[in-house]
């Protein structure tokens, strides 16, 4: 998820641009998402039978998926994935913008009651206030937690579809019914606890992104000619390529820090194939998972420290590209959405709609 802009877009506008950007970004990198999900669910000591593939690298996984399932294999669960990405980002951007606007209004009211600095005369002008970096990160974490509560069932369904063998793969609604039949309604919220813990991921991402952006802006040469004095009075902004690079670097850092819990969440949401269940392979391991911490403990016992980072190469590639594309696309979409809202306001004033 990208950090909502501080421009004057209403919460619905922020949610709209965030959801559209996330959907486009995921569509472009979805094959990597499928690869990383399958690699995260590899269990040492599995059956290695017909339904279970052992992937040694991202390229090896891509080759085997293509050989067995063709291009369609890379897009297993795409419908649920797009639904999940769109709904999660819509909810996130909406809640972030809504809560942030509320906090700013409260700060403005408090500033009005205190009066201007230095004890000057009271004014009716709207005070200029801003949130601290810590407050911004806390709001991002709260918004991400609220988004997860509403959208994690789609994530569970997408994970099941991505990891199910072709012959056992069901539709979105069929997968949902199967989950409810096996685990009850609570099954749709599997992995909720680690998902809530993982709200620190966007906080790390945004903190790193802002720091990298500040460094990049500081490196830009200042305007010195008279013709450019007016331009230098306006805030500097990054190019699309610079936003892409900053987003990629910040997401890579956040992914490395939080990856073990990302892997644990996926393992909790995964379901072994029927052939593995009958053979007593990974089912015996998966069935014993009771929590994210339990997943980490058992993976450590079986695969050691490297097991915590299995599939991280694909995860970083996918997360880095998704975040960078999302930031870049959203930055451009916001301009058009702001124009659309301005046009709607103008038409409303003219009573044309």
In a domain, 158, yes or no: yes
**What's residue 42's pLDDT?**
67
Stretches where the chain sits below pLDDT 50 are 5-7, 47-51, 223-235, 279, 282-284
**What's residue 138's pLDDT?**
82
In a domain, 241, yes or no: yes
Q: Give the pLDDT confidence of 294-347 residue by residue, as tens digits.
A: 888 888 888 888 888 888 888 888 877 887 788 788 878 887 888 887 788 788
Domain CATH code at residue 212: 1.50.40.10
In a domain, 75, yes or no: yes
Question: How many distinct structural domains can be found in the chain?
Answer: 1
In a domain, 297, yes or no: yes
In a domain, 118, yes or no: no
- Number of neighbouring beta carbons within 10 Å of residue 291: 13
In a domain, 314, yes or no: yes
Range of the domain at 315: 11-111+132-219+236-335
Max Cα separation, the chain? Answer: 80
pTM: 0.65
d(CA 189, CA 333): 32
In a domain, 39, yes or no: yes
In a domain, 348, yes or no: no
| Secondary-structure percent of the chain, ordered helix, strand, coil, rounded to 5 | 75, 0, 25
Q: At 177, list the tokens.
A: 């019914």
Q: Give the pLDDT confidence of 246-293 residue by residue, as tens digits.
A: 877 888 888 888 889 888 888 887 776 555 555 455 444 555 677 888
The phi and psi torsions of 316 (rounded to 5 degrees) equal -65, -45
């Amino acid at each position: 998820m990208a950090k909502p802009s501080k421009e004057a877009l209403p919460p619905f506008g922020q949610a709209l641009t965030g959801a559209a950007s996330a959907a486009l970004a995921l569509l472009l990198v979805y094959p990597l998402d499928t690869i990383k999900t399958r690699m995260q669910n590899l269990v040492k000591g599995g059956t290695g039978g017909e339904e279970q593939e052992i992937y040694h690298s991202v390229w090896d996984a891509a080759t085997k998926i293509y050989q067995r399932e063709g291009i369609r294999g890379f897009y297993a669960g795409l419908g649920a994935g797009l639904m999940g990405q769109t709904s999660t980002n819509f909810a996130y951007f909406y809640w972030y913008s809504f809560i942030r606007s509320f906090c700013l209004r409260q700060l403005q009211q408090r500033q009005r009651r205190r009066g201007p600095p230095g004890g000057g005369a009271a004014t009716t002008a709207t005070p200029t206030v801003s949130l601290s970096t810590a407050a911004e990160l806390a709001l991002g974490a709260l918004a991400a937690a609220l988004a997860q509560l509403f959208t994690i069932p789609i994530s569970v369904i997408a994970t099941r579809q991505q990891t199910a063998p072709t012959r056992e793969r069901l539709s979105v609604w069929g997968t949902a019914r199967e989950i409810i039949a096996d685990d009850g309604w609570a099954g749709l919220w599997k992995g909720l606890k680690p998902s809530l813990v993982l709200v620190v991921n966007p906080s790390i991402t945004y903190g790193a992104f802002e720091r990298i952006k500040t460094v990049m802006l500081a490196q830009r040469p200042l305007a010195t000619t008279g013709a450019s004095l007016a331009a230098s009075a306006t805030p500097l902004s990054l190019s699309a390529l610079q936003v892409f690079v900053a987003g990629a670097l910040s997401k890579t850092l956040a992914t490395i820090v939080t990856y073990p819990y990302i892997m644990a969440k996926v393992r909790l949401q995964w379901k072994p194939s029927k052939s593995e269940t009958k053979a007593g392979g990974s089912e015996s391991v998966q069935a014993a998972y009771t929590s994210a911490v339990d997943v980490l403990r058992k993976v450590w016992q079986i695969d050691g420290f490297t097991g915590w980072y299995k599939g991280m190469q694909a995860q970083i590639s996918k997360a880095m590209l998704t975040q960078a594309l999302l930031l870049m696309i959203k930055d451009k979409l916001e301009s058009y959405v702001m124009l659309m809202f301005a046009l709607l306001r103008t038409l409303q004033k003219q009573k044309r709609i």
